């Protein structure tokens, strides 16, 4: 039977090599070291207000990265997620026109449209055999172009107060956005580790042909991953829009690469078949803490681009090391 168990980091054993141990726990060690360094470099880092901001800032990237993790475990990748974030944000603003009365219908419509984008990605990959990188990049360009044509590059409308409430406010000491993020991450972790679909997904990502011979519907599994990834991209766009407070038509620009970097440094393989939500959460927090530290140290905002570039380089280096291993 090719339905393998989820390949989350295993417990340490006596015979385990240093490389295997670092691969399994390296992201958690790195996160702890960065958190310790942040406390030494900036006394303000552990102030409640800053912790609140870190959780809030991590939420949109985290939701997006959960979807990207699911796609990548199945052997895919999604470069259309930023375009979907923008589509969902602008669409809700256009439909709701700043009124809470129409927000539910607007959100349902735009999340359904986000899923249709994911369906297009999945069909190109599974039915037309287009490489995921090319297929999702193409779909992202088409979605961006269609949005620009429809809005004439000048979106109208504004975000309903409820969206801003989700992005900015809290329930007790925890940001609403973080509650959504952690809730979705928990659901994804349970699905990956405890369900038949999760086992099938790891099998498909590990060896698609062997999974097919074992009777697993490979195309259907991969199609679902793209639909879920796009759905979560739509949610991430709305959460991020609520945080910034307005419907920016270019919201989430660069989040495609940020999410891939967070997922890869969290231990998910670009080749598929390996990874999990726990590592992705650590990767998202690592990226967010580093960017937050740049601001606390009063460094030029351009240093955030340097940090992002270094994280992407680290992700590529880790992937190369895993392939050699």
The DSSP secondary-structure symbol of 8 reads P
* Residue of 160, 139, 138 lying closest to 91 (CA atoms): 160
Cα 177 from chain centroid? 14
In a domain, 141, yes or no: yes
* Residue of 315, 311, 263 lying closest to 289 (CA atoms): 311
Terminal C-alpha separation, the chain? 25
In a domain, 4, yes or no: no
In a domain, 28, yes or no: yes
pLDDT of residue 54: 97
pLDDT of residue 4: 43
Q: Kindly state the tokens that stand for 37.
A: 């360094």
In a domain, 305, yes or no: yes
In a domain, 295, yes or no: yes
Range of the domain at 240: 18-324
CATH number of the domain within which 180 lies: 1.10.3470
In a domain, 1, yes or no: no
In a domain, 245, yes or no: yes
pLDDT of residue 34: 93
Rounded CA-CA distance 210/229 in Å is 24
Rounded CA-CA distance 304/291 in Å is 6
Q: Kindly state the tokens that stand for 5.
A: 């168990």
In a domain, 5, yes or no: no
Per-residue pLDDT of the chain (325 residues; tens, 9 = 90+): 444 444 444 444 454 566 667 667 889 999 999 999 999 999 999 999 999 999 999 999 999 999 999 999 999 999 999 999 999 999 999 999 999 999 999 999 999 999 999 999 999 999 999 999 999 999 999 999 999 999 888 877 789 999 999 999 999 999 999 999 999 999 999 999 999 999 999 999 999 999 999 999 999 999 999 999 999 999 999 999 999 999 899 999 999 999 999 999 999 999 999 999 999 999 999 999 999 999 999 888 789 889 888 888 888 887 777 777 6
Which H or E element spans position 175? strand 174-175
- 3-state class of 109 per DSSP? helix
- 3-state class of 170 per DSSP? strand
Domain count, the chain: 1
């Amino acid at each position: 039977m090719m339905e393998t168990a989820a390949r989350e980091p295993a417990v340490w054993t006596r015979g385990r090599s240093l490389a295997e141990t670092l691969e399994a726990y390296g992201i958690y060690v790195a996160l702890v070291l960065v958190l310790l360094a942040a406390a030494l470099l900036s006394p303000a880092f552990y102030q409640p207000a800053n912790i609140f901001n870190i959780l809030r800032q991590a939420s949109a990237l985290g939701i997006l990265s959960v979807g990207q993790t699911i796609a990548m475990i199945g052997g895919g990748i999604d470069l259309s997620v930023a375009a979907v974030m923008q589509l969902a944000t602008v669409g809700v603003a256009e439909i709701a026109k700043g009124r809470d009365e129409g927000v539910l219908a607007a959100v349902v419509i735009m999340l359904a449209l986000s899923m249709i984008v994911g369906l297009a990605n999945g069909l190109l990959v599974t039915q037309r055999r287009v490489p995921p990188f090319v297929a999702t990049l193409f779909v992202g360009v088409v979605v961006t172009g269609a949005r620009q044509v429809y809005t004439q590059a000048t979106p109208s409308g504004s975000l309903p107060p409820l969206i801003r409430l989700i992005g900015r406010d809290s329930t007790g000491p925890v940001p609403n956005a973080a509650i959504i993020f952690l809730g979705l991450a928990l659901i994804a972790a349970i699905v990956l580790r405890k369900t038949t679909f999760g086992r099938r997904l790891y099998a498909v990502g590990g060896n698609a042909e062997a999974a097919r011979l074992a009777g697993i519907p490979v195309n259907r599994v991969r199609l679902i991953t793209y639909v879920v990834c796009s759905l979560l991209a739509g949610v991430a766009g709305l959460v991020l829009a609520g945080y910034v407070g307005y419907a920016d038509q270019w919201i989430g620009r660069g989040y495609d690469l940020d999410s891939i970097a967070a997922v890869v440094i969290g231990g998910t393989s670009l080749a598929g078949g390996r990874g999990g939500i726990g590592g992705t959460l650590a990767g998202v927090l690592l990226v967010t803490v580093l960017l937050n530290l740049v601001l606390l140290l009063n460094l030029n905002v351009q240093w955030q681009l340097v940090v992002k570039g270094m994280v992407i380089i680290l992700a590529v280096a880790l992937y190369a090391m895993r392939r050699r291993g």
